[in-house]
Amino acid sequence: MQMNTPVGPNALDTVKDGWVGKPLDRVDGRLKVTGGATYSYEVLQAPNTAYGYVVQASIGKGRILSLNTRAAERAPGVLYVLTHLNAPPQGEGNHHEAHPVLTGPQVAYFGQPIAFVVAETFEQARAAAYLVEVSYDRQPGNFVLADNLNRARRPQSTGAPADSAVGDFDSAFAAAPVKLDVEYSTPQQAHAMMEPHASLAVWDGENLTLHTANQMLSQGRLAVARTLRIPVKNVRLVSPYIGGGFGAKLWVNADAILAAIAARQLHRPVKTALTRQQVFHVTTHRSDTVQRIRLGTDREGHILAIGHDSYSGNLPSEQSYEAAAMQTRTLYAGPNRLTRHRLAALDIPIASSMRAPGEAVGLLALECAMDELAEKLELDPIELRVRNEPDEDPERHVPYSSRHLVACLREGATRFGWASRHPRHGQVRDGRWLVGMGVAAATRGNPLQPSQATVRLGPDGIATVRMAMTDIGTGTYTILTQIAADMLGLPPDRIRIEIGDTAFPEAAGSGGSFGAASSGSALFDACNRLRGKLAAAAGVDARAARFADGRLQAGGQSRALTDLVGAGGLEADGEIRPGDTEHTFSQQSYGAHFAEVGVDADTGEVRLRRMLGVFAAGRVLNAKTARSQAIGGMVFGIGAALEEGLVLDRRSGAFVNHDLAEYLVPVHADVPAIEAFFLPELDDAANPLKSKGIGELGICGAGAALANAIYNACGARIRDYPITLDKLLPVLPTQS
C-alpha cells in the first residue's frame, strides 16, 4: 500500500484489549541474557576460518611512499597481507553507495586502513600487523572546522534543500524591536555503541554471505555488490542481532569489504572485528558544528524574523552534512525566515549520521537561544514558545499531520512543578548547591521508508513473519510480534519473527526513527492481506470478520484459523511506500524536556537532579520499549550537554580520546531517576499504524534543557558544548 491519503479506522483501532501498546517484555530478552542471541563476530563457521586485522595510517594526510610487508608475511600463522598494491579494482561512490578500501597510496585521514593482515588466529594477525613498515610523504591538512569556515560551500542536497528563505529576513531582523544574535558550537561525537563493527565473509563459488553488523541490510547489500563489482543477487547480508548502532552501522564499513576481499582471495572464511580504538577512526562520527542563531521579535515576543546558519565539515569527497537548521524551518511561527547549511572540506574521518542527525545538535543551539530570548523579553520560556505556536508549517504552508507541542509543554510544566521555578538566575540554593530549572522543546522528523514483509500461517497455528529488517536493541522483534498478534488474533507465543537477512523481503532497516513505522506498516499490510485470504477460505467478507483467540468470527460462525489454512498453510506479502501524505502534511514527533540541576557554588560541578520528558509520538506500539527509547535518548542528551566530545589533535587530525576510558558518556552515577511520559495521540497521515518515530526524539532538546537549567541555577551561559568545568569556572558568578 502507498500512503497517499490519511487512513481511516482499521483493524488495529478495533482490537479490544490487544497487544499493541502494552508493555510486553522483549520476546528476544531470554536469548540476549543467556547468550543465545548471536552477534556477527559470534557466528561459528568451519575450523578453517581465518582472522583479519586492520593496519591504519599514522598520518592525517599524505601519500604512502613505501609499504614493506615482508616481515608480516613471514610471521607465524600469517596467510595473506592485503594492501593497495594487491587489492582488486572496486566500485566507487560516496559512503552511502560504496566503500572501496586500499585503492591507492593516498592517505585522506588519520586512521585510514592501509593494510589488512590475515592469519590463522586473531592474535597472530594483530601481532603481524605491527610488523608492517610504512613510510609517508606527509602533506599539510585542513583538520579544524573553525579554521575553515571561510572555505565552506553550500552542499549538494539529496532531500530537503540545504538553504531555505521565506519573506525578507534581513529587513525584518534589522527592524525588530527585540533582537538576539548568538553563536553556539557543538563538538564532534562518536557513536560509542556496545558492539564494535565486525564481519564474517563466506564465499560459495560466486556467492557471498556476509555476517555483518549493519543497520540497513537491503541498502548494505547494494553497497557491497557495487564495491566488489558483483551482481546484487550474489550478495547476502545477515545480521539478526546488533549490539547498538546509533547510525554508526547505517553504512557498509571497511571491516565488511576487507573481510570479503580476503575471503575471496584465500577461498576460506575470513572474520574480522575492529578494536574499540579502531572504531573511532575507521568508521563514521558526528561532525562538529558552528551555528549562528538570529531571532527578532516584537515586544510581546512574537517572532518576526528567525535565522539559523550552520557549518559542519566532512571529507572533500563527501556531501553529507549536519542538517542542524532543519527543525528551525518548522518548529516556530514567524513570517521572515532564513536557514543555511555550509560544508567545509576537512581531512578527517568520514562524518555521517549519528542519533537524530540535525536536530540533536541543532536544538542545542535553537532551544538555548529561545531561553536567552525569553530573558530579554522578561517572559516565561514556556510562554514564549506558546506565543509562537504556528497553525501550519511556516515554510511549506501545509497542515501538520498532528502537533501537540503545547500540550507537551503544559503537561510537563504541571508534572515537573515548573511554577516553582524562580525566573531570575542564582536565586535558589540547597546548601552549597545553586539550583535551577530549564525547559526545551523536542521535535524530530517522521519519515516513512519503503518496506516489504511476508507472513505465513502454518497448519500448526504458528505465524511466521519474514523481512530484511534489523533490531539494534530497540525492540523490533517485540513490536512486530505485537502487530502480528493483534492483526491475526493470535497470542504472542504463536508469532515467529525472522529478520536480519537479505534473503527475506527488502525492508528499510533501523535508522532515522523510521524503522518501526516502516517495517510495522509492511507487516500490517501483509497481515491485512492474509486476513482477506482467511476470510475468503471461510466464505465471509473480510471487513466483517473478527480475529481473536486463534479463530475467525463472522456471520454467526466461528472457525479455527488452523482449519482454514489447509495442509500447506497460507501466505501473504505486504508492503508500504511513502506517498502524497509526505508532501501534503508536515510530519514530526514532538515533546518537551524539563531538567533540574545543581551547580556547586565554589567548584562549578554540575549535577543533574531530576529530568522529565513528555512526548507526543502517535500510537505507542509498546509502552515499555517506547519509554526505554525515550529515556535512552534523554541520557544521550545529558552526555551531549555535559561530557561528550571528541578531542581533535590539530596537528594530525587524530581523535585523541579514541576509547571509552577518555571518550566520556554518562554512567549510572550521572543519571538520576528520569521520567518519560507519552500523551495519547494517533496520526492517521503518518502510516497505517498511526504511529510516529520515537528512537531519536528523546535526545532532541534534552541537552538544551540542561544548559538552560545551568543558566537558571548560576547565571553562566555556555555556548560551546559540552559544558565542562574549564568553560564554566571562568564565568561562574561570584556568590555572596
* 295-343 residue pLDDT tens: 999 999 999 999 999 999 999 999 999 999 999 999 999 999 999 999 9
Name the pLDDT band for 45 (thresholds 50, 70, 90): confident
Write the burial class of residue 293 (CB in 10 Å: 0-12 exposed, 13-18 middle, 19+ buried).
buried
For residue 211, pLDDT over 90 is answered with yes
Predicted local confidence at residue 61, as pLDDT: 98
Calpha distance 366→700 (Å, rounded): 11
Give the number of other Cβ atoms within 10 Å of residue 159's Cβ: 9
Sheet holding 62-68, edge to edge: 106-107, 62-68, 133-138
Predicted local confidence at residue 673, as pLDDT: 86
Name the pLDDT band for 700 (thresholds 50, 70, 90): very high
Q: Output phi, psi for 615, to 5 deg.
A: -130, 150
For residue 556, pLDDT over 90 is answered with no
The C-alpha cell at 522 is 509492511
Quick one: CA dihedral 107, 108, 110, 114, positive or negative?
A: negative
**CA 390 to centroid of chain Cα atoms:** 27
Lowest mean pLDDT among 88-102, 285-299, 441-455, 645-659: 88-102
Strands 289-297 and 303-314: antiparallel
Instruction: Give the CA angle between residues 105, 107, 113 to the nearest 5°.
Output: 90
- The full set of domains in the chain, from first to last, is 2-37+449-580 (3.30.365.10), 40-139+201-270 (3.90.1170.50), 359-446+587-731 (3.30.365.10)
Q: Output phi, psi for 37, to 5 deg.
A: -85, 115
For residue 7, pLDDT over 80 is answered with yes
- Quick check: helix, strand or coil at residue 525? helix
- Contact status, residue 474 vs residue 249, Cβ threshold 8 Å: no
For residue 95, pLDDT over 80 is answered with no
For residue 155, pLDDT over 70 is answered with yes
> Is residue 666 within a helix (H) or strand (E), and if so which, with residue range?
none
For residue 734, pLDDT over 90 is answered with no
Calpha distance 308→326 (Å, rounded): 9
Name the pLDDT band for 736 (thresholds 50, 70, 90): low
Give the number of other Cβ atoms within 10 Å of residue 262's Cβ: 26
CA dihedral (210, 215, 218, 219) in degrees, to 10, reads -100
Mean predicted confidence (pLDDT) in 651-667 = 96
The C-alpha cell at 366 is 535553537
Lowest mean pLDDT among 94-98, 113-117, 142-146, 184-188: 94-98
- Contact status, residue 179 vs residue 296, Cβ threshold 8 Å: yes
- Contact status, residue 1 vs residue 10, Cβ threshold 8 Å: no
For residue 438, pLDDT over 70 is answered with yes
Calpha distance 408→419 (Å, rounded): 15
Mean predicted confidence (pLDDT) in 100-113 = 98
The number of residues in the chain equals 736
- Quick check: helix, strand or coil at residue 562? helix
- Contact status, residue 447 vs residue 577, Cβ threshold 8 Å: no
Tabulate helix, strand, coil % of the chain (nearest 5). Answer: 30, 25, 45
**CA 217 to centroid of chain Cα atoms:** 15
Sheet holding 303-314, edge to edge: 164-166, 336-345, 303-314, 289-297, 178-186
Name the pLDDT band for 46 (thresholds 50, 70, 90): confident
- Contact status, residue 723 vs residue 703, Cβ threshold 8 Å: no
CA distances from residue 131 to 87, 109, 297, 304 in whole angstroms, order as listed: 19, 21, 64, 64
Residue 520 CA neighbour count, 13 Å, CB half: 34
CA distances from residue 452 to 231, 373, 465, 504 in whole angstroms, order as listed: 21, 47, 11, 9
For residue 158, pLDDT over 80 is answered with no
Calpha distance 270→200 (Å, rounded): 6
Predicted local confidence at residue 334, as pLDDT: 98
Mean predicted confidence (pLDDT) in 688-704 = 97
Predicted local confidence at residue 581, as pLDDT: 97
Instruction: Give the CA angle between residues 469, 470, 473 to the nearest 5°.
Output: 145
CA distances from residue 216 to 2, 66, 96, 470, 659 in whole angstroms, order as listed: 21, 37, 11, 7, 26
105: amino acid identity, one letter:
P
Instruction: Calculate the average pLDDT of the chain.
Output: 97
Classify residue 301 as left (phi > 0), alpha (psi -120 to 50) or beta.
left
Predicted local confidence at residue 555, as pLDDT: 84
Predicted local confidence at residue 94, as pLDDT: 77
The question of whether 696 is a catalytic residue gets the answer: yes
For residue 559, pLDDT over 70 is answered with yes
715: amino acid identity, one letter:
G
The C-alpha cell at 600 is 556547586
Mean predicted confidence (pLDDT) in 545-571 = 95
Whole-model pTM? Answer: 0.97
359-377 vs 702-714: helix crossing angle, rounded to 10 = 30
Instruction: Give the CA angle between residues 388, 390, 394 to the nearest 5°.
Output: 115
What is the C-alpha radius of gyration for the chain, rounded to an integer number of angstroms? 27
Calpha distance 285→646 (Å, rounded): 9
**CA 487 to centroid of chain Cα atoms:** 29
Predicted local confidence at residue 735, as pLDDT: 63
Cβ partners under 8 Å of residue 404, min gap 6: 590, 616, 679, 681
> Is residue 221 within a helix (H) or strand (E), and if so which, with residue range?
helix 217-228
Calpha distance 695→474 (Å, rounded): 8
